[in-house]
Amino acid sequence: MKNIKHILFTSILLVCSLYSFSDELRLTGYVGGYYIDMWIDSTKFDTGDIYGRYRYLSQESFIDLKGKNYNNEVLVLEEFWNEDHTGTFYLDIMEDSLIGWWKNEKEAYDVNLYYKSGELDLLEVQSLEDMNFNCSDDISGTYKIGQYYVDSYFATNENLYYDLGFNGGTAIFKETENGDLEFKIVMSMGQPVHLAQAEGVAMKKGDTYRYYHVELEGYEGCEIIFTFDNKKVHAISNNVQSCLFGVNASIDHTLYKINDGFKDFLDDIK
């Protein structure tokens, strides 16, 4: 009888461990003046997809959450009540908290949430460095650099503009049969957003690739030089007034290769 009780007790412990809340990340804080608890139930490391729920401390019912972690910098979480979309969280990921805004079509509130229990690793998704590590050494592919943030630049009491902001960009490259490089690069910077973009064929010159195009009569041509090293590309532009970039926008960055594929060159890059 004693052995049976021991077996039953051990089985109960095993079941409890399988369904333990320790496998969730719990946060506590407020939305406006309303205190809440939030649980992050699962995070897909490769896609950034996140699922969870939260409740106001004055209520017993939960509101479902689903959204995405953007490069371990920003969470965008849409909330659903009875399958209806009722609001969205825009949250900067800090060392010990999530800070940002909640909004719907009619109102917006500041949000401040602190980690209460669970492992912070449950929130983590793959970074650009992780994606870069898994790429081949081939030049052809997609490259990216940038930083996400909660964009409240245009927000007012009347205009509830809170959104996902991004400074940085993407480039795609495809080697041609003669060794030159078809490319398209789009970089965004600042608020309001200004763009630096170019596309064409960069000619191979030793260890570099050079693009040169005369757009404006009477001006030197737009020159862009690409150098590839260790699954990264270093882009440098000269005569930028001829490149017709937006104010303060630049393509002078080092971008990480994130995959070996590339989109159709007619597609927009985001």
- Domains of the chain by start residue, with CATH: 21-123 (2.40.160.90), 128-259 (2.40.128)
* Residue tagged 């051990």 (tokens): 10
What's the pLDDT score for residue 14? Answer: 38
Among candidates 163, 187, 149, 152, which has minimal Cα distance to 270? 187
Q: Where are the beta strands (DSSP E) in 126-162?
A: 141-151
Residues 6+ apart with CB under 8 A from 221: 212, 213, 214, 215, 239, 242
131: amino acid identity, one letter? M
What's the pLDDT score for residue 116? Answer: 92
Among candidates 133, 140, 131, 139, which has minimal Cα distance to 229? 139
pTM of the predicted model as reported, rounded to 2 decimal places: 0.81
Sequential pLDDT tens for the chain (270 residues): 445 434 433 343 333 333 333 468 999 999 999 999 999 999 999 999 999 999 999 999 999 999 999 999 999 999 999 999 999 999 999 988 999 999 998 999 999 999 999 887 888 999 999 999 999 999 999 999 999 999 887 777 677 788 899 999 999 999 999 999 999 999 998 778 899 999 999 999 999 999 998 876 777 889 999 999 999 999 999 988 888 898 888 999 999 999 998 765 445 444
Separation in Å, CA 165 to CA 41, 73, 76, 154:
25, 11, 11, 12
Computed over its alpha carbons, how large is the radius of gyration of the chain?
A: 24
What's the pLDDT score for residue 130? Answer: 93
